[in-house]
C-alpha cells in the first residue's frame, strides 16, 4: 500500500482530534477532488512497519479521538488497510475508526475485501464528491449526496443508517 500523508492532528475528518491516513490511488476521478494528487496509484511512499508504529503512537495520545482513513480511495486499498485497522483495533480498541469512500455503502457490501474493511470500521462517509452539490455546511462531508453512515447500526438494520439524518 502507498500513502500520501499521515496527520497526527486532524480536526476536519471526523469528530474530535483524529489521526488520519491518506492512501494513494483512486480510479473515480471526481471533478474538483480535494486530493487530486492522491489519485495516482504510484504517488506517495510505501507503507512500512515504521508508519504503523508511528500511527499507533499518535492514537495512544489521550487527546486523540480515533483514526480516519481517506485518500485517494481507501476501498481500492482494502486488503492492506484491513490489516492496518486490525492492528489499530488491538492496540487502541477504544478509538473510533472512520473511512471515507467514493463508493456507496451498497457497492462496498458487494465486494468481499471492501466489505471486510467496512465492517472493521465504525463510520463510513460514502459517495463520490459531486462539485455541483458542494455544501460547506455539512458535517464531515463535501457534497450533499454523501452520507455519514453508522456501520454497526447499518449491519443490524440491513440497510444504511445515517449518523446525522439531516447531514448537519
pLDDT of residue 111: 97
What are the helix (H) ranges across 5-146? 49-59, 78-91, 105-109, 112-119
Least confident of 53-57, 70-74, 98-102: 70-74
Least confident of 22-36, 86-100, 110-124, 128-142: 22-36
Residue listed under C-alpha cell 512500512: 48
Beta-sheet pairing, 64-70 with 17-23? parallel
pLDDT band per the 50, 70, 90 thresholds, residue 33: low
Instruction: Concatenate the DSSP letters of all residues of 145-162 into one string.
Output: T-EEEEHHHHHHHTS--B
Per the CB < 8 A criterion, the answer to whether 104 and 111 are in contact is: no
Arithmetic mean of pLDDT over the chain: 93
Residue listed under C-alpha cell 486499498: 77
User: Rounded to an integer, what is the distance from CA 70 to the centroid of its chain?
Assistant: 4
Domain locations along the chain: 2-162
pLDDT of residue 139: 87
The CATH number of domain 2-162, selected from 3.40.50.920, 3.40.50.360, 1.50.10.10, 3.20.20.70: 3.20.20.70
Residue 168 pLDDT greater than 60, yes or no: no
**What distance in Å separates the CA atoms of residue 146 and residue 124, rounded to the nearest whole number?**
10
Residue listed under C-alpha cell 488520519: 20
Q: To the nearest whole percent, how much of the chain has pLDDT over 70?
A: 95
pLDDT of residue 28: 82
Gyration radius of the chain over CA positions: 15
**What distance in Å separates the CA atoms of residue 13 and residue 101, rounded to the nearest whole number?**
12
Amino acid at each position: 500500500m502507498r500513502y500520501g500523508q499521515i496527520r497526527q492532528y486532524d480536526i476536519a475528518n471526523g469528530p474530535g482530534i483524529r489521526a488520519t491516513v491518506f492512501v494513494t490511488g483512486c480510479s473515480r476521478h471526481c471533478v474538483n477532488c480535494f486530493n487530486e494528487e492522491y489519485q495516482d496509484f504510484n504517488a506517495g511512499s510505501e507503507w512500512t512497519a515504521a508508519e504503523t508504529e508511528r500511527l499507533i503512537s499518535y492514537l495512544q495520545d489521550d487527546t486523540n479521538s480515533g483514526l480516519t482513513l481517506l485518500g485517494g480511495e481507501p476501498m481500492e486499498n482494502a486488503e492492506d488497510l484491513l490489516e492496518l485497522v486490525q492492528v489499530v483495533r488491538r492496540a487502541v480498541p477504544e478509538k473510533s475508526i472512520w473511512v471515507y469512500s467514493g463508493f456507496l455503502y451498497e457497492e462496498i457490501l458487494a465486494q468481499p475485501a471492501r466489505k471486510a474493511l467496512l465492517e472493521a470500521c465504525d463510520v463510513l462517509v460514502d459517495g463520490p464528491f459531486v462539485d455541483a452539490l458542494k455544501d460547506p455546511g455539512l458535517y464531515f462531508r463535501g457534497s450533499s449526496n454523501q452520507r455519514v453512515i453508522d456501520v454497526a447500526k447499518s449491519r443490524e438494520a440491513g440497510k444504511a443508517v445515517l449518523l446525522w439524518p439531516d447531514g448537519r
